[in-house]
Amino acid sequence: MRKPILTLLPMALFLFTIVSCETGKKTESSKIVLTTENNVYEGDLYQLYLEDKILFTKAQLDITSDFLETEPNNEKLLAELETLKSDLNALKKNIEIQNQQDALIGKLPRVPRVPPVPPQPCLAGACIPTAVSFITISNDIQRIVVKITDLETKEIIASASISKPSPLPQYENLVTATAIDLKEFTGAVIIDIQRTNTDNETISYSLNGNIY
């Protein structure tokens, strides 16, 4: 039975809207221009976290070793020492993997992981310019959730996520970018990140930062 034209018209408009929206998103992504001030690469944040954890674990190892000098047969301390050694090896392996991925990214424009001296706006953690408007991830990451919280008030300043990576062709499909709005905030923050790689391994981590 032939359907009336008026019945088919809303369906046609609906389909046109979907196609138009998807085309608009692709066009917008293709126009993204990354600079050394407007995007933070999540791999750099993860590297900062790993470096901090390595320093902390090494310090714990030294403390435990000092205690064992006076209590060499303390089974609890011996077990703790082995756990710390295992943790340190795992952290070193993860940072090696991250270094390999960073080498693929190469000189992709992004906020420097370690700010130049001068001006060095913060001495530790992640230094993020308030002009940042994108978070970028590499091709080994398939999902990510980022939350930035004011260290003092515990108020959530910004959040962003990627669940379906769409690599940017203008950057050789090396990264996917998602928008983030820092709302001109400045000050100390906590950055919480959950990342899932292409092997479906999920890691959650936090690090301190400063938005300037």
- 163-196: pLDDT as tens digits: 999 999 999 999 999 999 999 999 999 999 999 9
Q: What domains can be seen in the chain, in order of their start residue?
A: 39-211 (2.60.40.1220)
Long-range contacts of 91-95 (CB under 8 A, 24+ apart): 91/50, 91/53, 91/54, 91/57, 92/54, 94/50, 95/47, 95/50, 95/51, 95/54
**Which residues on adjacent β-strands are paired with residue 133?**
none
- Determine the average pLDDT of the residues in 121-148: 93
Q: HSE-up of 158 (CA within 13 Å, CB side)?
A: 20
Q: Average pLDDT of the chain?
A: 86
- Tell me, what's the pLDDT at 114? 82
Task: State residue 140 phi and psi, 5-degree precision.
Answer: -85, -5
pLDDT band at 118 (very low <50, low <70, confident <90, very high): low
Give the percent of the chain with pLDDT over 70: 85
C-alpha 145/C-alpha 19 separation (Å) is 27
